[in-house]
Every structure is written in C-alpha cells, then in structure tokens.
A = this chain, B = another copy of it.
Amino acid sequence: MQLGKIVGTVVSTRKDEKLVGLRFHVVKFVDPDGKSTGSFVIAVDSVGAGVGEVVLVAAGSSARQTKTTEGKPVDSVIMAIVDELEIDGKTRYLK
C-alpha cells in the first residue's frame, strides 16, 4: 500500500454506472515524514475518510476487494485511515 494524504475531491456526473455514489478523493502520496513524493492518485473512499487525513491506498485488483468497490472499474481504494506511524521506534505521525 502507499501512504497518502487526502487533499481534495473530484466530482463526476458522467461516469460508468457502477460508480454512482462513490466518493473520489485526490490523494497526495507522502513519505513516512509526511513529505510529498510529488505524485498523487484519485482513489475511491471505502472507510469514510475526509480531506486532511493520512490514509493507506491499495491499488490494482486489490482495490476491488472492499464492499464499496467490488466488481467496479476502480484501481485505487482508500482502505485504512492511519492513526500512527512509527519508524525506528519513534513516532513520525500521530493523528
């Protein structure tokens, strides 16, 4: 999974019919120190995450293993909200 921070949202009315009702978030990828890696992804929310939260994003067919995304044309899903991230025994991020 990639570590990311939700920074925005995408609105789309014309889309595949299976996508109706899904929320699309703009997720900026970050390193363990919270610094942007320079890339981002549009991911479907499956856990009620909101702008500003640090999350985990699963990609590929694994992105379709949630109830929200099963069988849908979705290749990136937010499947966890990060509470704490610890590196070498030190807390780097705490919600």
| Interface, chain A (partner B; CB < 8 A) | 1-3, 7-16, 18-19, 24, 26, 31-32, 40-43, 46-49, 51, 56, 58-66, 69, 71-77, 79-89, 92
Contact, CB under 8 Å: B88 / A8: yes
By the criterion CB–CB under 8 Å, are A83 and B13 in contact?
A: yes
Min CB–CB distance A64 → chain B (angstroms):
6
A40-B32, A73-B62 are known contacts. Are A14 and B92 too (CB-CB below 8 A)? no
Contact B62 A1 (CB under 8 A): no
Known: A10-B56, A65-B18. A1 touches B84 (CB 8 A): no
What is the bound-complex CA distance between A91 and B68, given in angstroms?
26
